[in-house]
Amino acid sequence: MSELGSKQVSNQQYGISQAAKASQLSTKTVRYYDDIKLVSANKSAENGYRYYNDKTLQELVFVRRCRGFDFSIEDIRKMLLLFRDPERTSREVKQITSSHLTQMKAQMVEMQALCTQLEQLTTECQGDDNAHCPILDNLTQSG
């Protein structure tokens, strides 16, 4: 269950500061997600302020959690559409998530190789008063 999932849906409206605090995002981030149409605020005709309801707060938490798993904005957009669709199938959600997991694992392999290289370079560098440095020498080599 989501962090806001246990709350009953109400007609209450929250200003951007309240929405940011409730979703544990910055006001700048909430505004950005609204600007790129990831979530939708109700805009007051009278004062132009953005107001968010409980459903939108739940979506903001959803987006924050997705970003925590490093999903792209485009994948989050797809996941939100599925989240909002009561007729969705879990197959579609799993497909997006599995693809993302595969990408993450590939990145982890790449990062591990980079760590191994940096460990080797760090070991080779004396780290003394000598000007010669294998780390700098290696970084000037192409490819």
pLDDT at 46: 80
Structural domain boundaries, residue 103: 95-139
β-strand partners of 43: 50
Q: Within the chain, which residues score under 50 in pLDDT?
A: 1-7
122 within some domain: yes
pLDDT at 11: 75
Q: What is the tens place of the pLDDT at every residue in 71-85?
A: 999 999 999 999 999
Q: Nearest CA to 70 among 34, 106, 36?
A: 106
Are residues 60 and 24 part of one domain?
yes
82 within some domain: no
List the structure tokens of 63: 């987006």
pLDDT at 5: 47
51 within some domain: yes
135 within some domain: yes
pLDDT at 51: 92
123 within some domain: yes
pLDDT at 89: 93
**C-alpha dihedral (52, 31, 40, 42), degrees to nearest 10:** 50
66 within some domain: yes
80 within some domain: no
Cα within 13 Å of Cα(93), Cβ side: 13
Q: What is the tens place of the pLDDT at every residue in 100-112?
A: 999 999 999 999 9
